[in-house]
C-alpha cells in the first residue's frame, strides 16, 4: 500500500476519503489495479487452510474411506452433517471476504460504499468520549453477533454427531433379542444389526467432531480478522474525533 496514504485523516461527512498531504499521487484510487490486487493475509490464510483440508479429503476419498462411511450409514446423517458443514464454511468464507474488504477500506483510506467504517464515523461524529465508548461497546456486540452464525453451525455439527450416536445405539440394540440368544440361526442377524448400528454411531460421531474442528479453525480466523476490524474502527473514530 502506498506509504503516502494516511487512513486516519478522514471526515465522517464525506465517508472514507484520503487527504492530499503533499507528494501524493491523487490519480490513484481504490479502482487502481495495484491496490485491488494486493492479497489479504486473512483471505490467504483462509484459502490455504481449506485447500490443505480439502486435499486431505480427496486423499481419503481415493483411499475409499469416505465411501465406506457413506455406505455404512443407513440413516444418511453423515450427508446431513456434511451439507451443514459446507453451508457453514460458505457462510464463513463470505464473512471473511466482508471483513477483508472492510479492513482494506480502513488501511487504504478509500471511499467504500456501505462501509462499516463510514457508518461508524457518522455515528460517533461530534460525540463526547463517554458516548463514543458506549458506541464502541455496541459495535463490539454487533461484530460478535455478526460472527455468531458460523459458531452455531460448528456447534450443530457436534449435536448432529451425538444424535447419530444415539440413533446408532438404538439401531444396534433394536436387533438384540435376549430370548433368541441361544438360537444359532438368530445370532447372525443380530450381529449384523449390531454392527450396522455401531457403524452409524461411530461414523457420525467421528464426522461431526472432525468437521466441527475444521469449521472452528475457520471461525477462529474470522474472529481474529473481526477483532482487528473492531480495533481499527475504534481507533479510526478516536483519531477523527481529534481532527
Cα 180 to Cα 111, 175, 198, distances in angstroms: 77, 11, 20
The domain spans of the chain are 44-241
Number of residues written out for the chain: 243
pLDDT per residue of the chain (243 residues) written in tens, 0 to 9: 344 434 443 443 444 443 332 333 333 333 433 333 334 788 888 999 999 999 999 999 999 888 988 888 888 899 999 999 999 999 999 999 888 888 877 776 554 555 666 677 666 666 666 776 777 777 777 777 888 899 999 999 999 999 999 988 888 887 666 666 556 666 677 777 788 888 888 999 999 999 999 999 999 999 888 888 777 777 776 766 555
Count of CA atoms in the C-beta half-sphere (13 A) of 136: 18
**99: closest CA among 231, 237, 226?**
226
Which pLDDT belongs to residue 177?
63
In this prediction, residue 180 carries a pLDDT of: 62
* pTM metric for this prediction: 0.73
Q: What local confidence, expressed as pLDDT, does residue 216 receive?
A: 95
C-beta of residue 216 within 8 angstroms of C-beta of residue 155: no
Single out the residue of 152, 150, 142 nearest to residue 221, CA to CA.
Answer: 150
Residue whose C-alpha cell reads 484520503 in the numeric block: 18
Non-local CB neighbours of 177 within 8 Å, separated by 6+ positions: 186, 190
- What letter does residue 37 receive in the DSSP assignment? T
- Give the per-residue pLDDT at 114: 53
Amino acid at each position: 500500500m502506498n506509504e503516502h496514504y494516511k487512513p486516519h485523516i478522514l471526515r465522517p461527512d464525506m465517508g472514507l476519503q484520503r487527504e492530499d498531504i503533499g507528494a501524493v499521487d491523487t490519480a490513484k484510487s481504490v479502482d487502481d489495479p495495484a491496490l485491488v490486487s494486493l492479497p489479504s493475509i486473512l483471505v490467504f490464510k483462509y484459502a490455504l487452510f481449506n485447500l490443505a483440508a480439502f486435499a486431505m479429503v480427496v486423499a481419503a476419498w481415493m483411499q475409499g474411506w469416505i465411501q465406506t462411511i457413506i455406505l455404512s450409514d443407513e440413516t444418511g446423517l453423515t450427508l446431513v452433517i456434511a451439507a451443514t458443514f459446507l453451508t457453514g464454511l460458505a457462510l464463513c468464507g463470505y464473512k471473511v471476504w466482508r471483513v477483508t474488504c472492510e479492513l482494506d477500506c480502513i488501511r487504504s483510506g478509500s471511499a467504500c460504499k456501505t462501509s462499516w467504517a463510514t457508518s461508524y464515523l457518522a455515528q460517533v461524529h461530534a460525540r463526547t468520549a463517554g458516548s463514543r465508548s458506549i458506541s464502541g461497546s455496541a459495535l463490539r456486540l454487533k461484530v460478535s453477533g455478526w460472527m455468531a452464525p458460523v459458531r452455531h453451525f460448528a456447534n450443530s455439527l457436534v449435536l448432529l454427531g451425538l444424535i447419530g450416536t444415539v440413533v446408532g445405539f438404538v439401531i444396534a440394540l433394536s436387533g438384540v433379542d435376549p430370548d433368541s440368544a441361544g438360537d444359532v440361526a438368530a445370532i447372525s442377524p443380530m450381529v449384523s444389526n449390531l454392527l450396522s448400528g455401531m457403524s452409524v454411531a461411530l461414523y457420525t460421531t467421528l464426522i461431526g467432531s472432525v468437521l466441527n474442528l475444521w469449521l472452528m479453525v475457520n471461525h477462529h480466523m474470522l474472529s481474529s480478522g473481526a477483532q482487528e476490524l473492531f480495533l481499527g474502527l475504534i481507533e479510526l473514530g478516536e483519531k477523527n474525533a481529534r481532527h
